[in-house]
Amino acid sequence: MRETLAALADLTRAHFFFVWPLLFCSGLALAFANYGGFSWELVGRAALIGLFGFEAGLVLNDYVDREHDRRDIDGSLTRYWRPFGARPIPEGRVSPRAAFALFLILAGSAAAIAATLPAPHNLYVLGIMGYSYLVEYFYQTKKRRQTLPLAQVVGRTDFALFPVAGYLVHGSPDAAALLIFLFFYPWALAHLAANDIADVANDRARRMATIPVLYGMRGAVLWVLGFAAVHAAMALVFGLTLGPVALAGFAAGLILLGAATCLILRGKSPAAGMRALPLIHATLIVYAAAIIAAVVL
């Protein structure tokens, strides 16, 4: 039983579990600010949708990549992302069939809760869920054979839409929803390249056309720097619409992101990418908290 629980924790990246409902509910908080009608019951439903929905995507990621993950030669990123430092499917601790069943359970649970939302909010959230899982599959398979980073550019729209889905639990497609997307999308692209820099040895072994494989380490560093700069500009635009509390929180997040970018720029190596990742991930928590605080305070 203990081995099974450890394998499930690795499959779902369990130590990051609190981030997904926090990020999802930051979008919902902004919807409450714009549309009124606060409800703790709705917050609870949204938190479960965000938790189950994102965890399902992580399991799908491992399921789709199960054969290619057998080629890993560097376990650094695996130990970072997974609390017990293992990939359960390639190691035979979870069967592909069981992993896919877990994906269906998690995605089905999120979808069932989303279906209880009043129309058309249920359709908004379910539509983004379906799109995101399709895009995750596209990303995992397309990056195996591409000469341009289409997998990355299309694939990271799913992450940027995640807090938008939280907004649409109670809100409607509007300028605020668009700003949420435009704020998180360049962050997602910068984060993805940093993650790929840290994992470049494995991506070469897997023959994955990630950013550093396509453009070399220098190109990947410029990718991170460029999208971090675009994200900083969007942080100013988005923050100005939310007020001084959000601006202060976004500034704190940008300091962390700037430090991470400097580490990557100076090191230009997988080790530098690994050192930068915790700072980049911390920005996500700071951003979500800043959006919620801007609504509450």
- Whichever domain contains 45, its CATH number is 1.10.600
Q: Which domain holds residue 68?
A: 2-296
Which distant-in-sequence residues (6+ apart) come within 8 Å of 47 by Cβ? 21, 24, 25
Q: Tell which residue, 77, 226, 87, 81, has the closest CA to residue 149.
A: 226
- For 238-264, letters b (16+ CB in 10 Å) and e give bbeebeebbbebbebbbebbeebbebb
- Which residue, among 18, 34, 24, 6, has the nearest Cα to 94 in the 3D structure? 6
Question: What pLDDT was estimated at residue 76?
Answer: 94
Contact 99, 89 (CB under 8 A): yes
**Rounded Cα–Cα distance for residues 288 and 186 (Å):** 16
What pLDDT is recorded for position 212? 97
**Contact criterion met (CB below 8 Å) for 249 and 289:** yes
pLDDT for res 281: 97
> What's the Cα-to-Cα distance from 112 to each of 72, 185, 228, rounded to whole Å?
36, 27, 36
| Closest to 76 in 3D by CA, of 278, 290, 281 | 278
- How many other C-beta atoms can be found within 10 angstroms of the C-beta atom of residue 225? 15
Whether the CB-CB separation of 135 and 154 falls below 8 Å is answered with yes
Nearest C-alpha neighbor of 72 from the set 57, 58, 59, 62: 62
pLDDT at 137: 97
pLDDT for position 34: 97
Question: What integer pLDDT is reported at residue 2 of this predicted model?
Answer: 86
Q: How far apart are CA 59 and CA 287, in angstroms?
A: 25
Report whether 53 contacts 193 (CB < 8 A).
no
Query: How do the pLDDT tens digits run along the chain, 297 residues long?
Result: 888 899 999 999 999 999 999 999 999 999 999 999 999 999 999 999 999 999 999 999 999 999 999 999 999 999 999 999 999 999 999 999 999 999 999 999 999 999 999 999 999 999 999 999 999 999 999 999 999 999 999 999 999 999 999 999 999 999 999 999 999 999 999 999 999 999 999 999 999 999 999 999 999 999 999 999 999 999 999 999 999 999 999 999 999 999 999 999 999 999 999 999 999 999 999 999 999 999 998
Nearest by Cα to 210 from 80, 66, 68: 68
pLDDT at 180: 98
* Alpha carbon distance, N-terminus to C-terminus of the chain: 45
Residues contacting 271, CB < 8 A, separation 6+: none
Domain count of the fold of the chain = 1
